[in-house]
Every structure is written in C-alpha cells, then in structure tokens.
Amino acid sequence: MPPATVLQHCTVEELGSSLRFVGPYRTQWVTTCLLALGMLFIALILVALTWSEIALIQAMGFQAFVVSPCNGLGSLLFLLIGASELVELLWQVMGQEVLEVYDDAIVLRHQILGVGITRRYSVDTIGSVVVSPPTDTGLTALHTSGMGLFSRFGLRRSAFQSFKRGRVALTSGSTRLEDYNTVHFGSSLSEDEAQYIVAIIHRKFRHYGHQSQGAG
C-alpha cells in the first residue's frame, strides 16, 4: 500500500491479479446549491398540487375524480423529476468513484452508498492510461455536467452518469470509449496522486502504458 502522504484522496487495494482504487467525488458546490433549490421548487409544486387535489375533492365530491387524474399525472411527473434530482444531489455530497483495473479490461463505477452505475471497457478499446490535465476550469458547475433541472431536459448531461471528470484518463484505442475519446477517474485527486496511481497501473499492467493518443 502507498503511504498516506502520497494518496490522501484515494485508497488502493491489490486484489490478486487486479487493482482497485476508490475515492470521493469532488463536490461541485454551485451545482449542489442549484440542485437543492430545484428540489425545493419541486417540493413547493407538489404541495400546491396536493392542496388543489384536496380542495377539488372537498368542492366536487366524487366528481372530482374525473378531473383529478390530471393532477395525479402532474404529481407523478414531478415526483420522478424530484427523484432524479435527489440522485444528482446525493452524488454531489456522497458520491464515490471506483476504478478497477484488470488485465483484459478496466471498470469505472459511480456509487452512492454502494449502489450506482458501471462502465466496463475491454483492453482492445483502451489506448493507454495517462495523467490528464485538470478537467475543471473557472466556475466548476458551469463547465461540467449536471445543472439541476436543466439536465433533465437534455440541456446538460447528468453529472452522476458522466465519466468526464478526473485526473486519471483512459484514452481510446481502436474505438471510441465515449464522447471526446476519453473517460476519467479521480475528480478529487491532485496531480501527484494521479501520477502515483498511473505509475502503479503501468507497473502491474504494462500494456496500459502504450499511449496511442493524448488524453482530452
């Protein structure tokens, strides 16, 4: 295991023939505030819909059930949006990034309390594992994925589902890994930590050190 002074934002496990790196997601505080405001807005709408439903039933009795399905569908829609926003908010404050390196593949995971999404890339799609330049510039939330309600309408991708932040990059080999040719790990890592992690990977798996093109 590396000394604590080398890796402060990541843990390393050597599991026989594989390596596993785990680190916290670096919170985007502007995005987090927007998500919280968005959820408050949704909560107010749900309260208003519930109040109008109760008032309608009191005024119309059973006839209200002819009209009430519209309110019910609206409430369901906002509940689904709220659930999606909650996932994004939890990702910002509790998210965990996982990088698993095998001889024949590399696996990236985004997890919240141990549950999340997984991306697996076979060795023939990976050109190399390299240290990436910083992926955040300026106001972090305005330059990366996840902008609250806007992401639900396709204007910006979900930060939870995006693997574009981090100082360790997987460049593409024979095919594209994802949009823009790279995926990333380690949003909380410093450059020294990223260098150390990449060196560990190259030492155990030399074929991930052959760079076919730069990280982007």
Tens digits of residue pLDDT in 149-166 = 444 444 456 889 989 899
Checking if the pLDDT of 145 tops 60, the result is no
Name the pLDDT band for 55 (thresholds 50, 70, 90): confident
Between 129 and 182, name the one with better pLDDT.
129
- pLDDT at residue 176 in the model: 52
Average pLDDT over every residue of 46-73: 69
Query: Considering the entire predicted model, what is its pTM?
Result: 0.80
Distance of alpha carbon 37 from alpha carbon 63, whole angstroms: 36
What is each CA distance from 122 to 101, 119, 145, 165, 211, in whole angstroms?
Answer: 10, 10, 25, 20, 16
